[in-house]
Amino acid sequence: MNDILLRMQGVRRTFHQAGVELQVLRAVDLAVAAGELVALVGPSGAGKSTLLHLAGLLERPDAGEIDIAGQAAARLSDRERTAVRRQSIGFVYQFHHLLPEFSAEENIVLPQMIAGVNRRAARVRAQELLAQVGLTARAGHRPSRLSGGEQQRVAIARALANRPSLLVADEPTGNLDPHTADGVFAVLTDLVRTSRMGALVATHNFDLARRMDRVLDLRDGVLVQVS
């Protein structure tokens, strides 16, 4: 695992609320390699979502460097950051955020078309991904006709539609029962391994965290490796 797909060096993030300075991240250093799943744990309010937003280029750091697949990204323009997100980063959230008026397949086709892929090729890619997550038979179903676990598997497939280098996941199984969460996590793990992505996964589920390659604990704005 020598290919580093996410590198953060000396990353700081401070918020100002009601005249109070809140240092959420204090010189965070982090590296995620190809094919590696890294768990991010920590108490609520510790700044896990902020760290994920920075890794996904949704926010800018106050200081420090962020490289995505070898590309320095912290100082890119907004347009350039959007291009990097579209090409290199996939996002999975606790709630699937599927578009309710579209089928499972269409939900995976749309982000590809936004990225410039023609409809036919996008459909082929969507069908491949649905097969990988075990949902070929549900391709034409809208989200309301899918179970919670099926919706989240579609959301994972959608996140991988444009073949990202890095997957950023915020509590991807947090809205699921334990049995369903295990199944969704198994699918996520298999896709990361076979696609050679890097994955940074925030979770409160310590059982799932221990099944990843490394566990990082975020406390007082600092990352500490737990295992």
CA distance linking residue 221 with residue 47, whole number of Å: 7
Whether residue 61 has pLDDT greater than 80: yes
Per-residue confidence band for 117, with pLDDT thresholds at 50, 70 and 90: very high
Handedness of CA 120, 125, 129, 134 (dihedral sign): positive
Q: Count of residues for the chain?
A: 227
Averaged pLDDT for residues 197-217: 91
Whether residue 201 has pLDDT greater than 80: yes
pLDDT at 1: 44
State pTM to two decimals.
Answer: 0.88
pLDDT at 195: 87
User: What domains appear along the chain, each with residue ranges and CATH number?
Assistant: 4-225 (3.40.50.300)
- Residue 65 backbone dihedrals phi, psi, to 5 degrees: -120, 140
pLDDT at 5: 93
Strand order in the sheet with 4-17: 20-33, 4-17, 63-68, 71-72
Of the listed ranges 12-21, 26-35, 197-206, 215-224, the least confidently predicted one is 12-21
Identify the CA nearest to 33 among candidates 70, 69, 4, 72: 4
Instruction: Write the DSSP string, 19-71.
Output: TEEEEEEEEEEEEEETT-EEEEE--TTSSHHHHHHHHTTSS--SEEEEEETTE
